[in-house]
A and B are shown apart, each in its own frame.
Chain A
Amino acid sequence: GAGVSQSPSNKVTEKGKDVELRCDPISGHTALYWYRQSLGQGLEFLIYFQGNSAPDKSGLPSDRFSAERTGGSVSTLTIQRTQQEDSAVYLCASSLRPDRGEAKNIQYFGAGTRLSVL
């Protein structure tokens, strides 16, 4: 597609339920990133996928958070047993392979999924 697509755009869930957030990166982009934007916390890195390499999961806040990327394209971020502090906007970005060339470093962001945990 023309840009990074995320779904759903909004998600309201009850505390304790599991949620799945989806990201469709720009076609041909090998790198995919998940970030979280919370009030008062700014934007924080969650996880990074690059091709077939092991993902960098260093930003995941707890073991309730996991992500996968199937076929090197679509990614799903799963939050199990959601808590109220998980309420945030979850942003996905993609880029060409980031270690080759200036232009290929630019991350293109989706509009995000606004998650509200009641």
Chain B
Amino acid sequence: KQEVTQIPAALSVPEGENLVLNCSFTDSAIYNLQWFRQDPGKGLTSLLLIQSSQREQTSGRLNASLDKSSGRSTLYIAASQPGDSATYLCAVRPSNAGGTSYGKLTFGQGTILTVHP
């Protein structure tokens, strides 16, 4: 059974810092990995999606890397801002033996990020 772990559980940093959020997964047979952010009382917003064949994806100040063989992904946030404060969730989609994906995502517990001015 796939298990996804996110470290740290919570992080508080001053504005302007670069930071790294970590995600690890136990089963490397994944189709892709997604990073989401969740604001209080709201749904999830997809930030980055990395296919299993890719090593990294970038969007603005965000960079996500994937090392499938070691079961790890990192989300790098550059020059953090108070508006980045949210819960960040990592999720993996499994692949079956044929290489096509099942629909369901397995989520980590999330990292609660607070960026203070």
Which residues of A approach B to under 8 Å, CB–CB? 4, 31, 33, 35, 42-45, 48, 50, 56, 58-59, 91, 93, 98-99, 102, 105-112
Contacts and interface: CB of A to CB of B under 8 A. Distances in A.
Closest 9 CB pairs of A and B: A48-B103, A109-B43, A43-B107, A45-B104, A109-B44, A42-B109, A111-B43, A99-B100, A106-B46
Contact of B103 (A56, A91, A102): A56
Interface of B: 31-32, 34, 36, 41-46, 49, 51, 89, 91, 93, 100-110
Nearest to B91: A43
B101 A59 contact: no
A56 B102 contact: yes
A48 B104 contact: yes
Contacts, number: 63
Nearest to A55: B103
Contacts of B45: 109
Contact of A107 (B46, B102, B108): B46
Given A33-B103, A99-B101, A105 B44 contact: no
22 contacts: A4-B43, A33-B103, A33-B104, A33-B105, A42-B108, A43-B89, A45-B105, A48-B102, A91-B43, A93-B44, A98-B93, A98-B101, A102-B32, A102-B51, A105-B101, A106-B46, A106-B49, A107-B105, A108-B46, A109-B43, A110-B43, A112-B42
A82 B101 CA distance: 33
Contacts of B91: 43
B9 to A, nearest CB: 11
A4 B46 CA distance: 13
A98 B107 CA distance: 17
Nearest to A31: B103
